Amino acid sequence: MTNRTIKQINQKIDKGDANIYTAAEFKKLIKKGDTPSFDEVDVVTCGTCGVMSGTAAILNFIISEPGVFIRANEVYLNGVPAYAGPCPNEWLGSVDVILHGTAHSIYDESYGGGFLFKEILEGKSIDVRVESAEGKTIENTITKDDITRGQIIGARMAFKNYTAFTNPGSEEVKSIFAATPLEGNLRGLTFSGCGDLNPLQNDIPHNVIKEGSRVLLNDAVGYVLGDGTRASAEKPNLMLSADLCKMDPYYLGGFKTSQGGEVYDTVAIPIPVLNEEIYNNLLITDDMIDLPVADIRGRHLPLDNTDYDKMWAGHDLRPQYDRSKCKNCESCLIEEICPTNAFKAERLNLTYCFGCGMCANYCRHDAFNMNTGSVDLNINDNDVNVPIILRQSDRLRANKLSLKLKKMIETREFIL
């Protein structure tokens, strides 16, 4: 078997001779029948973006002058509860907190840690309330500049395996896998996963992606800490970490579900092609990747199977908004249910848009045009066609961060 070393690939990069592809570029060539040979590819940058519930942040910031309170017992940022500590910081006026991306505001369940992280990175003012050990209430505002240290820890990220969900029952079901209660009678299908772009899908079994590997997490250089929680050989995921304050708010944010606010992240990881086994693993395409479809009420009980080609091939990544069709509803349903708050006051903010498909599937007046596709399934011996109504992963962001990583490798901003 032919082997290369990281040193050899880095030398080619230094000379400008390395062949570096994003996963999207590489898979496009495969599907066209023009697959680069082993000798023609040195690095493939892979990416994924989606709801990653294991996201948390460790923050330190100053809330008052020293001597005002002993230590914090409870901390709220824009109403989102954070866990004070582990360091007590007695009498210092600063607090350490751990804040979950899935924590919900005490004032608004749909607003949570994911939305808060984005607002911090956007430089917005954050209202902070501290309940101290001696019963004092300290209130102040902070911005990103007031955070002396912020670190994202992703307990489980970049999943290789997901399950799609539908509801064969008659009653709607609330779930973190649905932006609104998922209607019954197979009204729609919701899924996650970037398919053949996903780093772990392209590196089986962890030939390259190992503890200590460098990654881009929401555009900040970070590291693989090891396997994520609930990871297994069959269903791997990663524990990742990077500096929150160096992240780009475009790649990180909140995502509303019918069970409250969630958090999404974007991850890009390079796959150096060191040998033919690693190369062969990169040849996987969406049509080769199974996606089980389960009852929303029984997550581990597949009803049927499909694949990622049927989820993504030929479908739009973003909606087109036709303002002339908007009827100025007294209560805009899309403004209410848009998972990332991308649609407000009759304007679609494409920077916030996740391409989830909710607007195109639920607008009463078809003001949004977006082909999200449908899938043929056999459920309980009945052939049915179920529309894809919600994506909780975003290929556009995954592609953008993969391309950013490719350019950073070429310019030596990111060293293999």
Q: What is the DSSP string of 333-347?
A: HHHHH-TT--EETTE
Dig out the tokens for 268 from the structure.
């890009």
The three state secondary structure string of 239-283 is: EEEEEHHHCCHHHCEEEEECCEEEEEEEEEEEEECCEHHHHHHCC
DSSP type of residue 376: E
Burial 83-119 (b: 16+ CB within 10 A, else e): bbeeeebeebbbbbbbbbbbbbbeeeebbbbbbbbbb
The answer to whether 110 and 341 are in contact (CB under 8 A) is no
Neighbours of 400 (CB within 10 A): 21
* Plot region of 400 (φ>0 → left; ψ -120 to 50 → alpha; else → beta): alpha
- Each of the 416 residues of the chain gets a pLDDT tens digit; together they read 578 999 999 999 999 999 999 999 999 999 999 999 999 999 999 999 999 999 999 999 999 999 999 999 999 999 999 999 999 999 999 999 999 999 999 999 999 999 999 999 999 999 999 999 999 999 999 999 999 999 999 999 999 989 999 999 999 999 999 999 999 999 999 999 999 999 999 998 889 999 999 999 999 999 999 999 999 988 999 999 999 999 999 999 999 999 999 999 999 999 999 999 999 999 999 999 999 999 999 777 789 999 999 999 999 999 999 999 998 898 999 999 999 999 998 899 999 999 999 999 999 999 999 999 999 999 988 999 999 999 999 999 999 999 999 999 999 999 99
Q: What gap in Å lies between CA 212 and CA 323, rounded to an integer? A: 49
pLDDT of 1: 53
Closest CA to 200 of 52, 81, 412, 303: 52
Please report, to the nearest 10 degrees, the dihedral formed by the alpha carbons of residues 409, 154, 262, 75 taken in order: -120
- Closest by CA position to 191, among listed 311, 347, 335, 18: 311
Rounded CA-CA distance 362/336 in Å is 11
Count of helix runs (H) and strand runs (E) in the chain: 8, 24
Which element (helix H / strand E) includes 317?
none
Task: Give me the pLDDT at residue 333, please.
Answer: 95
Q: In this structure, are residues 203 and 278 in contact, taking their beta carbons and an 8 Å threshold?
A: yes
In order of 29, 54, 259, the CA distances from 78 in angstroms are 47, 20, 19
Paired residues of 266 in beta bridges: 49
User: How does 200-209 read in b/e, with b if 16+ C-beta sit within 10 Å?
Assistant: bbbbeebebb
- Residue 13's SS3 state is helix
Checking phi first, is residue 86 left (phi over 0); if not, alpha (psi -120 to 50) or beta? Answer: alpha
What's the pLDDT score for residue 278? 97
* Measured CA angle at 268 (ends 267, 270), to 5 deg: 150
Helix (H, G, I), strand (E, B) or coil at 195: helix
- How far apart, in whole angstroms, are the C-alpha atoms of residue 254 and residue 352? 10
For the question of whether the overall pTM of this predicted structure is more than 0.95, the answer is: yes
H or E element at residue 395: helix 395-410
Whether the CA torsion 219, 220, 224, 228 is positive or negative: it is negative
